[in-house]
Amino acid sequence: MFKKLIITLLPLLMIAGNVKAGEKEELMHLRYTTAKLLQLLVKEGVISADKAREMISNAQAEAEQRLIDDKAKQMSEPQQGEIKVPYVPEFVKDQIRQQVRAELREDVTNDVLGKAKQERWGVPGVTPDWIDRIKWSGDLRLRAQSERFSDDNPDGIHINYNKANQKGSSAGDVLYNTNISRDRLRARLRLGMKAKITNDFDVSVRLATGSGSDPVSTNQTMGEYGNKYNLMLDRVYLKFTDIDLQDYPWLTFYGGRMKNPFLSSDLVWDSDLAFDGLATTFRYNLSGSDDLFDMDDRSKTLYMTFGAFPLQEVELSTKDKWLLGLQLGGKFISESGRSTYEAGITVYDYRNITGKRNETGLSLNDYTAPEYMQKGNTLFQIANSGNTSDAPFALASDYNLLNVTGRVTFTHFAPINVKVIFDWVRNMGFDRESIIERTGGSVIVSGGGEADVSDITEETEGYMLKVVVGWPEITRRYSWRVFGAYKHLERDAVLDAFTDSDFHLGGTNAKGFLLGGEYGILDNVSLSARMLSTDEIQGAPYGVDVFQVDLIAKF
Please answer whether residues 165 and 369 qualify as being in contact, where contact means their C-beta atoms are separated by less than 8 angstroms. Answer: yes
Q: What is the distance between the alpha carbons of residues 446 and 457, in angstroms, rounded to a whole number?
A: 12
- Give the C-alpha separation, 440 to 434, whole Å: 10
- Got the DSSP string for 36-73? HHHHHHHHTTSS-HHHHHHHHHHHHHHHHHHHHHHHHH
CATH of 138-354+366-554, one of 2.70.170.10, 3.40.50.300, 3.40.30.10, 2.40.160.180: 2.40.160.180
Residue type, 348: Y
Q: Tens of pLDDT along 522-533? A: 999 999 999 999
Tens digits of residue pLDDT in 384-422:
888 889 999 999 999 999 999 999 999 988 899 999 999
Identity of the amino acid at 254: Y
CA 410 to CA 418: how far, in whole Å?
5
Strand partners, 307: 279, 325
Task: Name the pairing type of β-strands 400-413 and 321-333.
Answer: unpaired
Say what the pTM is. Answer: 0.76
DSSP state of 159: B
CA distance 245 to 288: 12
- Three-state DSSP string of 473-502: CCCCCCCEEEEEEEEEECCCCCCHHHCCCC
CA 344 to chain centre: 14
3-state SS string over 181-218? Answer: CEEEEEEEEEEEEEEECCCCEEEEEEEEECCCCCCCCC
Backbone φ and ψ for 528, nearest 5 degrees, come out as -130, 155
Contact 11, 62 (CB under 8 A): yes
pLDDT digits (tens, 9 = 90+) for 241-272: 999 888 889 999 999 999 999 999 999 999 99
- Per-residue confidence of the chain (555 residues) as pLDDT tens digits? 545 545 555 555 555 445 555 555 555 556 656 666 666 676 666 666 667 677 776 766 676 676 666 666 665 555 555 555 555 666 666 766 676 666 655 665 566 566 656 655 555 555 667 788 899 999 999 999 999 999 999 988 899 999 999 999 988 889 999 999 999 999 999 999 999 999 899 999 999 999 888 999 999 999 988 889 999 999 999 999 999 888 889 999 999 999 999 999 999 999 999 999 999 999 999 886 555 556 667 889 999 999 999 999 988 778 899 999 999 999 999 988 899 999 999 999 999 999 999 998 888 999 999 999 999 999 999 998 888 899 999 999 999 999 999 999 999 888 999 999 999 999 999 999 999 999 999 999 988 888 999 889 999 999 999 999 999 999 999 999 999 999 999 999 999 999 999 999 999 999 999 999 999 999 999 999 999 999 999 999 999 999 999 999 999
The domain limits of the chain are 2-119, 138-354+366-554
Interatomic CA distance for residues 196 and 347, integer angstroms: 32
Query: C-alpha angle with apex 456: 451 to 461, nearest 5 degrees?
Result: 135
Q: Can you tell me the distance from the alpha carbon of 202 to that of 138, in angstroms, rounded to the nearest whole number?
A: 18
Cα torsion for 257, 260, 266, 267, to the nearest 10°?
Answer: -100
d(CA 432, CA 452): 11
CA dist., res. 526 & res. 240, Å (int): 33
